[in-house]
Amino acid sequence: MTDATPAGKPTLLMAEDEEDTASLIRFLLERAGYHVVHASDGHQAQHLIDTLAPPSLVLLDIMLPHVSGLQLLPYIRNKTEWQRVPIIMLTADSSEHDIQQALATGANDYMVKPFNPRELTARLSRFLKVAA
C-alpha cells in the first residue's frame, strides 16, 4: 500500500499552494526522512493522484486553486488503491463546518496553520506506524 523511494524513505504527497509554506514543510519533512512530492494546486494534485503509486501519506490543504482539498478528499477515497492512505488536512481553515466535513469525507486528521513542526512530524509518525 505504501510507496517508498529507492532509499527506503516514505513518500508523502503534499498539496499546498502557498510556496513559502510548501518550502518550509518540504524542508521539515525531508530532514525527518521523508520523500516529498509537491502539488501546488488542485489540478496538479489530481494529476498526481491519477499517475503516482499510492504514497505513505497525503498532506492536503483545503484552500487550493482550481480544485479544493474538500473536493479532492472523495476523489482520493474513491480510488481503490488509495483508500487506506492516511490523509492529514493541513490548512488555515479553522471553520468547524469544514473540519467536520473533512473528517466525514475521509480525512484522518486535521491541523490548523500555523502549525507546530514537532506536532506535525509526531502526527505523521503516528499514522505511518499504523500504516506500516
96 Cβ partners below 8 Å, 6+ apart?
Answer: none
Query: Fold for domain 11-131?
Result: Rossmann fold (3.40.50)
- For the question of whether the overall pTM of this predicted structure is more than 0.85, the answer is yes
pLDDT digits (tens, 9 = 90+) for 76-120: 999 999 999 999 999 999 999 999 999 999 999 999 999 999 999
C-alpha 62/C-alpha 18 separation (Å) is 12
Show the cell assigned to 97: 463546518
Residue 36: closest CA among 61, 62, 56: 56
Residue 13: closest CA among 70, 82, 106, 71: 82
pLDDT digits (tens, 9 = 90+) for 2-38: 455 546 889 999 999 999 999 999 999 999 999 999 9
> Is a pLDDT exceeding 50 seen at residue 132?
no
| DSSP type of residue 20 | H
Distances (CA, A) of 67 to 64, 110, 126: 6, 19, 28
User: Left (φ > 0), alpha (ψ -120 to 50) or beta: where does 40 sit?
Assistant: alpha
| DSSP type of residue 53 | P
Structural domain boundaries in the chain: 11-131
C-alpha 128/C-alpha 5 separation (Å) is 15
